[in-house]
Amino acid sequence: MEISKASKKSFTRQLVAWHSNDNNRDLPWKNERDAYRIWLSEVILQQTRAQQGLPYYINFTTTYPTVADLAIADDNDVFRLWQGLGYYNRCKNLLATARYVARELNGKFPDTYDGLLALKGIGPYTAAAIASFAYGLPQAVVDGNVYRVLSRCFGIETPFDTTAGKKIFAELAQDLLDKKDSGAYNQAIMDLGATVCTPSNPKCEQCPLQKECIAYNNNIINLLPVRSKKMVVRKRFFNYLLLICDNEIWIQKRSSGDIWENLHQPYLIETPAPATIEELKRNEFYTSLTGNIQVTEHQLKTTQRLTHQQIYANFYTVSLQEKPIIKKENGTWVSIDELKRLAFPKTLVSFFKNNLYF
């Protein structure tokens, strides 16, 4: 695919002019030059809409105003603050990188693209964002917004999630970059994708690139960008047993190798299909319980969509007269009042809030 130099210059010129004159998107991390705050905002905004991430950014920068503050924070406190954002591996990497920067780099983020890329949890997009916004380096960002704007404007039909597609988009993004003000250009193309060239119902009448947009002129807006594979979503069925004895509840911290690492949960029985209470009572653990047991099935049933998984959750309160021996790792009994200081997945937070545990 050949794109003339004139077309590239026109694209960049019109985009930058729109950013200067008409881009009214106001967010606290825009025009930020502090590498720590830029990094924090970019990590929070991975897989997260700006308005959803905004209160988290404010809470984090208020609670941990510097990377040194974050580096010495207690893990549970940080995960609790992150609670509800999802993709909790981001939070784990956030802590690891903060501690590395604070302890090994004297609290200063690298001022080169390659140095930033070497940090845990920082990929090409985040490294480019920090490099351009904090240090003015000529690095183009390439994210979902950029894929969408470029594919529509230039009529790129190569799937963006293939090796060939990633190469095409990365090279084009770098060619289009305003080298004199990379930060403004990167902010402009991301904002245009987020507010004008949206996935559905784009505001083409407000787009500065409308006249030259191939997708608009050929009525193929809804066909671009192209994804190569349809996402396969795995269904999982979680049955939570809230084991309660003497106003204490058994809680387990989830370990690595699965979703929601380092977050807490009650006793979990995962089944391959929806299960009835009668079926759960035949579970090996349940049959090992002794004494007078009272089971209450809660009417609230929650679902949570992750990128590749759909979680269906049922909840049962199991009132016990004596604490059983539970062999699962990372488990302990805590008072119900303590639940408020622990971090849980969104699915469990919804349940606890509706049942007055929080």
Catalytic residues: 42
CA-to-CA separations, 171 to 29, 54, 158, in angstroms, rounded: 27, 31, 14
| Cα distance between residue 341 and residue 354, in whole Å | 17
Strand, helix or coil for residue 241: strand
Q: Residue 250 is which amino acid?
A: W
Identify which of 206, 223, 215 has the alpha carbon closest to the alpha carbon of residue 14.
206
Return the number of other C-beta atoms located less than 10 Å from residue 246's C-beta: 10
Instruction: Tell me which residue has tokens 């679902």.
Output: 303
Identify which of 248, 268, 273, 284 has the alpha carbon closest to the alpha carbon of residue 345.
268
| Cα distance between residue 335 and residue 123, in whole Å | 40
CA-to-CA separations, 286 to 29, 115, 237, 277, 283, in angstroms, rounded: 50, 52, 17, 11, 5
Token digits of residue 303: 């679902």
| Cα distance between residue 307 and residue 215, in whole Å | 28
CB 32 within 8 A of CB 133: yes
Identify which of 315, 353, 330 has the alpha carbon closest to the alpha carbon of residue 237.
315
Helices and strands (H and E) in the chain: how many: 15, 8
| Cα distance between residue 252 and residue 118, in whole Å | 33
